[in-house]
C-alpha cells in the first residue's frame, strides 16, 4: 500500500520522458545548426589567414602559420575598395526604390479585396524562383536597348528587381496583419488619409518594413548575375570580385577574404535590426483577451 502511494503515476512519467526527449532533440538541432552555419564561417576565417609561404594542405588539421597576407593581397591587387563603395551605394538605392515601388503594391495586396489577388501575389514572387542567370541573360538585352547597361541607374533597377519580391511580400503581410478596427478607429477620430499613413500604417508595418529592408539590402549586396551581365566591367561589386576568384582560377584563400568582407556587414545588420524588432506592435495590437 505504502509503495503504491509513492509510485509516480504513469502519466507524469510519460510527460517527463516526453519533455526530456524534446530537450535532447532541441540540443541536437542547435548543435547541427551551429555546425551548419558556423563551420563554413570558421573555415573561411582560417582560409583567409593562411600564410602564402606555408600552404595549408593535407594532413594538417589547422594551417601551420597564420598571417594577414591574403587580406593585404586582396586590398592591394583587386578593386575591392571601389567594389565596396559601389556595393554599398547600390544597396541603399535599391532598398529605397524597392520600398517606394513595393509600398503601394503591398498596400493593395494586403488590404484590398481585388479580383485575382492570389494570381498577383504569385506573379510578384516570380523573380525569387527564376534562376538569376536566366533573368540576367534575357534582361540584359532589354537593358542594353534602353541604354541601361554599364550604367549605375541600370544597376539600381536590376537590384531593385531582385529585392522587390521580398519587400512586397513582407510589407503585404504586415499590412494584412493590421486589424481593420484600428484603421476605422483612426478614421472615426478624424484622421485623413495622410495622417492614417503617417501615424498608423507606417508605424504599424515597421517590423515588416525592417525585415524587408534587411532582405532587400542583403539581396542587393549578394546579387551577382545581373550585375555581372549588365554592370561589368564598368562596375564591380563585391560578388563580382568574389566570383573572379572562383571558376577556372579557383583561389580559395582570396575568395575567403572577399566572402568575409561581403558577409560580416550583413550579419551585423541582422543583429541591429533584430534588436530594433524587440517590441512587436502587431501582437500587442490584438489586446489582452
Partner 1 sequence: MSRLVLKNIVKKFENVIAVDHVSLEVEEGEFVTLLGPSGCGKTTTLRTVAGFYQPDEGEIYFNDRLMNNIPPAKRNTAMCFQSYALFPHMNVWDNIAFGLKMRKVPTEEQKKRVAEVLQMMSLAGMEKRMPSQLSGGQQQRVALARAIVTQPDILLFDEPLSNLDAKLRVQVRVEIKEMQKRLGITSLYVTHDQDEALAISDRIVVMNQGHIEQVGDPETIYLHPATSFVAGFIGLANILNGKVIARDEQRVLLELPFGTLWAFGGNLCPNVGDMVKFSFRPENLVQYREGNMNKIVTTVVHAIFMGNAVDLFLDAQGVRLRARAQNTEKFKSGDTVVFTIDEKAFQFLE
Which grid coordinates are listed for 228?
Answer: 555581372
Cβ atoms 237, 231 nearer than 8 A: yes
Decide: is 114 part of the binding site for partner 1 (CB under 8 A).
no
Pick the piece of the chain touching partner 1 (CB under 8 A) from 101-109, 130-138, 202-210, 212-220: 202-210
Work out which of 57, 113, 188, 249 binds partner 1, going by CB under 8 A: 188
Nearest to 110 by CA among 28, 187, 167: 167
In angstroms, the CA 129 to CA 123 distance is 10
Site for partner 1 in 205-264 (CB under 8 A): 206
CB of 286 to partner 1, least distance (A): 8
Considering only 41, 93, 186, 251, the residue that binds partner 1 (CB under 8 A) is: 186
Binding test (CB under 8 A) with partner 1, winner from 61, 189, 248, 278: 189
Span near partner 1 by CB under 8 A; candidates 94-102, 167-175, 191-199, 245-253: 191-199
- Give the count of alpha carbons within 13 A of 47, CB side only: 16
Q: Are 207 and 165 in contact (CB under 8 A)?
A: no
Does 19 bind partner 1 (CB under 8 A)? Our answer is: no
CB under 8 A: which stretch of 110-118, 153-161, 164-172, 281-289 binds partner 1?
A: 281-289
**Segment lying near partner 1 (by CB under 8 A), choices 81-89, 105-113, 181-189, 252-260:** 181-189
Closest approach, Cβ 271 to partner 1, in A, equals: 23
Give, for 180, the enclosing helix (H) or strand (E): helix 180-188
Minimal distance in Å, beta carbon 193 to partner 1? 9
* Least distance CB 58 / partner 1 (angstroms): 58
Residue 113 touches partner 1, criterion: CB under 8 A: no
DSSP state of 178: S
Of 112, 116, 93, the residue nearest 104 (C-alpha): 112
CA 136 vs CA 127, 149, 221, 256, 282: distances in Å = 11, 11, 16, 26, 38
Q: How many residues does the chain have?
A: 289
Residue from 60, 181, 272, 274 binding partner 1 (CB under 8 A): 181
Q: Is 55 left (phi over 0), alpha (psi -120 to 50) or beta?
A: beta
Is residue 281 near partner 1 by the rule CB under 8 A? yes
List interacting residues with partner 1 (CB under 8 A). Answer: 179, 181-182, 184-192, 195, 199-200, 203-204, 206, 281-282, 284-289
Amino acid at each position: 500500500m505504502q509503495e503504491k502511494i509513492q509510485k509516480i503515476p504513469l502519466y507524469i512519467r510519460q510527460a517527463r520522458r516526453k519533455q526530456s526527449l524534446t530537450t535532447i532533440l532541441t540540443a541536437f538541432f542547435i548543435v547541427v545548426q551551429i555546425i551548419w552555419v558556423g563551420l563554413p564561417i570558421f573555415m573561411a576565417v582560417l582560409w583567409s589567414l593562411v600564410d602564402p609561404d606555408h600552404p595549408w594542405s593535407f594532413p594538417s588539421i589547422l594551417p601551420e602559420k597564420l598571417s594577414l597576407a591574403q587580406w593585404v593581397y586582396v586590398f592591394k591587387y583587386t578593386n575591392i575598395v571601389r567594389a565596396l563603395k559601389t556595393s554599398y551605394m547600390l544597396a541603399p538605392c535599391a532598398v529605397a526604390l524597392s520600398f517606394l515601388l513595393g509600398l503601394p503594391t503591398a498596400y493593395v495586396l494586403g488590404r484590398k479585396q481585388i479580383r485575382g489577388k492570389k494570381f498577383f501575389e504569385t506573379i510578384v514572387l516570380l523573380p525569387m524562383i527564376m534562376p538569376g542567370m536566366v533573368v540576367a541573360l534575357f534582361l540584359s538585352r532589354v537593358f542594353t536597348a534602353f541604354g541601361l547597361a554599364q550604367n549605375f541607374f541600370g544597376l539600381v533597377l536590376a537590384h531593385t528587381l531582385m529585392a522587390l519580391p521580398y519587400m512586397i511580400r513582407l510589407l503585404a503581410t504586415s499590412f494584412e496583419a493590421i486589424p481593420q478596427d484600428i484603421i476605422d478607429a483612426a478614421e472615426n477620430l478624424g484622421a485623413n488619409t495622410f495622417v492614417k499613413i503617417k501615424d498608423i500604417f507606417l508605424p504599424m508595418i515597421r517590423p515588416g518594413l525592417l525585415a524587408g529592408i534587411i532582405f532587400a539590402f542583403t539581396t542587393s549586396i549578394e546579387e551577382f548575375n545581373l550585375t555581372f551581365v549588365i554592370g561589368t566591367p564598368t562596375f564591380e561589386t563585391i560578388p563580382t570580385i568574389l566570383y573572379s576568384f572562383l571558376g577556372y582560377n579557383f583561389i580559395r584563400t582570396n575568395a575567403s577574404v572577399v566572402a568575409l568582407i561581403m558577409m560580416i556587414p550583413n550579419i551585423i545588420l541582422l543583429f541591429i535590426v533584430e534588436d530594433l524588432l524587440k517590441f512587436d506592435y502587431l501582437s500587442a495590437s490584438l489586446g489582452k483577451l
